[in-house]
Structure 1
Amino acid sequence: MNENDHSEAGRPRLTAGVRSAVLPGGDEPGVTLLPEYRWLRYPLLGFLVALTIGFTAGSIAISVVNDDMDPGVAWPLGVLQAAPMIFAARWPLRAWRTAAAGMLLIVLVRHGEGFMPWPVTAILAMIVILFFVGVGCDRETTVGVGAVTIAGVFAPAVLFGTPGWFGTILAGLAALALTFGDAVGGRHSAMAELRRREEQHREDLARQAVLEERARIARELHDVVAHHMSVIAMQAEAAPYKIPELPDAARQTFGVVRDAAREALTETRRVVGLLRSDDEGAERAPQPGLDLLDDLVSTARRSGLSVATVVTGLPRPLTVGVDLSAYRIVQESLSNASRYAPGSRVHIEIRYGTDSLRVTVTDDGARTPPAESHGGGHGLVGMRERAMMLGGDLQAGPLEAEDADARTGWSVVAELPYGDGD
């Protein structure tokens, strides 16, 4: 690439910035360039309105009193130069175009050797507008605005008689306002992008937790189904030997059942095997259920919790999915209580309803400061997935304290329909 290529490559960026700055309908930010917090936004907006009124009145008064300008000319020019500041926080490019046009017009109206064309209030209004341009517009547009302001407003004033040192100072102030605004806008954009990425990261973690929990549920149910399928295959194989006088048609039927059970078991193991990590094998022991609730409670008590359990309603046989999910929900709730509410009193209620099993686990808040946790914090996601898998519902959240000084506890309530196990 030669030098001409380098120069040509650098031109489009400045050209695009000038075009976006000058042409109507350019790249406006599309949002109000004021703080998001109301307690800060409204005072700043009021201050901006007060400045606009003061600068506009000052521009008109200075032109009439000090420069002996005709009031019929001073009024519209003063409004053009300073009043656009009122909407600079929403449409900075439009405000700049209007104010720049007003400043250029006053140069054409008033010119002469050593003259100062603009009231100081109009210059201050332009600096504020340039700051908002730097905050709200991209860098190319900001550079274009600076170039047009210096070449299209300040340079003509110097050509018409304004001292060069004064034009240089104004150009420096304009560049400083645009640079400062660009720095503030860049920091605001970086913070917004950081918040967006953090939110996306949290969503990704939650989505990953859901997928991991669903894979775990699938593995657990596979182990249960595999056990039952193995029983079916073995019973179908043993039936002809247990019943010697079994007709040939029945023997053939049992053979079909045996082969179908084995094939289904093989395919299930092949598919669910993809969900297991390399060092994770199938469970050899039966999956746990509410019959092991006492073991869970004993473990929780050894960790420092005070646990009480109550079973209401008429106990009934549960399907494997409901039994396993209820156990896991209680297990995760106790684990969370031990981690986030050490020393608390935990109450577990298992209620056998008419159509569903209701599992309630509550604690009354930590009695000692909990240790710093580095876990993923997605236990609630797993419990909710288990309840939704069964067509049920899970509600979790803090308990309302009786008074301001009381500890805040936590509650988990799961509703698990019995399903087809009636």
Structure 2
Amino acid sequence: MNDPAHSPSGRHGRLLAGVRAALVPGGDERPVTLLPGRLVLRIPILALLAALTIGFTGGSIAIPIQAYHVPTGLAWPLGVLQATPLIFAARWPLAAWRVAAAGLLVTVFVRHGTGFMPWPVTAILALVVILFFTGVGSDRQTTVGVGAVTIAGVLGPAVLFGMPGWFGMILAGIAALALTFGDAVGGRHSAVEELRRREEQHRADLARQAVLEERARIARELHDVVAHHMSVIAMQAEAAPYKIPDLPDAARQTFGVVRDAAREALTETRRVVGLLRSDDEGAERAPQPGLERLDELVAAARRSGLAVATVVVGMPRPLTTGVDLSAYRIVQESLSNASRYAPGSRVHVEVKYGTDALTVSVADDGARSTPEESQGGGHGLVGMRERVTMLGGGLDAGPREGGWAVVADLPYGDPD
């Protein structure tokens, strides 16, 4: 079966569409940025373009006057049309080409049969540069249309009006080469931009995935806490009729409703959290840790080569399970990061019992040896931030005095 896109009619259709895009300004035609974004590179290129524009325009005016004896009043507008569009070719390449091509075509009719070539060489040089920018800034179909119009609509009439055919073929080859080179440069630029865009998208996807994974991890860790409380509610509601003699029937029914609701909530919680577990991850049997295991964390960090000092400020008080677990995980992740990225450093861990919130801070003074390449692990700051956000607190993390510090404020909430 023949592919319509590769059939002669399909190729002719694409060529006509390219010619139309080249000649007719479209409503969706937008300025393009073909110059480097850095000023240190952009300014010299703009200066070079301005110098070339001035030189080519001056030559396109002076050469016809001196060599071809073109009247000054005619040489000025023709020279400006032919070469001056170069100044905005890097921003509006198609518009620059249209003006320059129109100037070259008008010159053919004005000077036909009066010389070897109707245009000064500076006008041809300006056209070559403009064609390059057109190839860079246009899609391939439009680039082909620009080449077809340049060869058939500008060089063709010049050959018909006296320019040697072999010279016209040389100019056509130069024009095609400029467009091809520009198309190659533009294709590479587009590929680099697409790669950059995809990398940004990939980083954004990874960040979203990290957040979702940490939220799922936090939900799994808090499952045991919620399940414990729901179990207590169910058992107390079931035992209440036996503990309270002469309990009214209405109260007995109420306790039954509470018991059933607690059991149903517990079942649904287990079902939802079960969906958050990976296929190879079983339910955790060990109780969730808290700050009572802080000494174990510090001992493990010291075994990894850190010099850890701990201090507890204020009067310890009962903590909700969520605050206790989050404080433990933040210290654990901070010590893990210090061991990974600041080996041999001195680390100060402070747990401060404030009036309204528990403040946990972990600060190191920088690596004493070269950190090893990270082999992965948790999501670090993402997980800390998610835990703090869940509790309505605040997190401040960043470089400090040659090292790194993490400070988390965890509101107490209602005690268990």
TM over 0.5, shorter chain: yes
CA gap of 1:4–1:33, structure 2 versus 1, over 3 A, is: closer
Partner of 1:404: none
Q: Where does residue 413 of structure 1 map in the other structure?
A: 407
Deviates more, 1:347-356 or 1:38-47: 347-356
Instruction: Give the 3 Å change call, closer, same or farther, for CA 129–28 of structure 1 in structure 2.
Output: farther
Query: TM-score of the superposition, structure 1-length normalised?
Result: 0.93
Residues 13-46 of structure 1, C-alpha deviations (whole Å, 9 max, x = no match) = 1111110000123764533210111110111011
Partner of 1:358: 359
How far apart are the structure 1 equivalents of 2:41 and 2:50? 15
Tell me if structure 1 keeps the 8 A contact 2:215–2:386: yes
**What does the per-residue CA deviation read over 1:144-200, in whole Å, with 9 as the maximum and x for residues that have no partner?**
000000000011101111111211111111111111111111111111110110010
1:285 and 2:279 matched: no
Name the counterpart of 2:32: 31
- The question of whether the paired residues in 1 share the 8 Å contact of 2:345 and 2:364 is answered with yes
Distance 2:4 2:333 in 1: 68
Which deviates more, 157-166 or 312-321?
Answer: 312-321
Number of the residue aligned with 2:139: 138
Kindly, what percent of the aligned residue pairs are identical?
77
Contact 2:214 2:379 in 1 (8 A): no
Matched, 1:305 2:306: yes
In structure 1, the residue corresponding to 2:359 is in which secondary structure?
strand
In 1, Cα distance between the equivalents of 2:101 and 2:258? 88
**Do the aligned partners of 2:241 and 2:247 also contact (CA within 8 Å) in 1?**
no
Number of equivalent positions: 414
Moved more, 193-202 or 314-323: 314-323
Shift of 1:295: 0.8
C-alpha separation between the residues in 1 aligned to 2:168 and 2:245? 115
Q: Which amino acid in 2 is paired with 1:16?
A: A
Alignment of 1:27-66 (within 5 A): 28=29, 30-66=31-67
Equivalent positions of 1:254-293 (< 5 A) are 254-293=255-294
Structure 2 counterparts to residues 126-275 of structure 1, below 5 A: 126-240=127-241, 243=243, 245=245, 247=247, 249=249, 252-275=253-276
The structure-2 alpha-carbon separation of the partners of 1:32 and 1:252, relative to structure 1 and needing over 3 Å to count, comes to closer
Assess, with a 3 A threshold, how the Cα gap between structure 1 residues 254 and 44 changes in structure 2: closer, same or farther. Answer: same
1:264 Cα offset (Å):
1.8
Which structure 1 segments of 5+ residues have no match? Answer: 402-407
- 1:148 aligned partner, one-letter code: V
Q: Tell whether the 8 Å contact from 1:113 to 1:162 is kept in structure 2 after alignment.
A: no
Q: Root-mean-square deviation (CA), in Å?
A: 2.1
Deviations 1:235-276 (A, max 9, x none): 4444555x4845364655544433332222112111211111
Q: Cα 1:235–1:420, aligned 2, differ >3 Å: closer, same or farther?
A: closer
Cα contact 1:127–1:177 (8 A) shared by 2: yes
Q: TM-score, normalised by structure 2?
A: 0.94
Distance in 2 of aligned mates of 1:342 and 1:101: 70
CA distance in 2, matches of 1:133, 1:252: 83
**Separation of aligned partners in 2, 1:3 and 1:52:** 46
Question: Compared with structure 1, are the counterparts of its residues 377 and 15 closer, same or farther at alpha carbon in structure 2 (3 Å cutoff)?
Answer: farther
Partner-residue secondary structure (3-state), 1:410:
strand
In structure 1, what is the Cα distance between the partners aligned to 2:254 and 2:30? Answer: 75
| Corresponding letter in the other structure for 2:169 | T
Larger mean Cα displacement after TM superposition, 362-371 or 190-199? 362-371
| Deviates further, 227-236 or 309-318 | 227-236
Q: In structure 2, what is the equivalent of residue 345 of structure 1?
A: 346
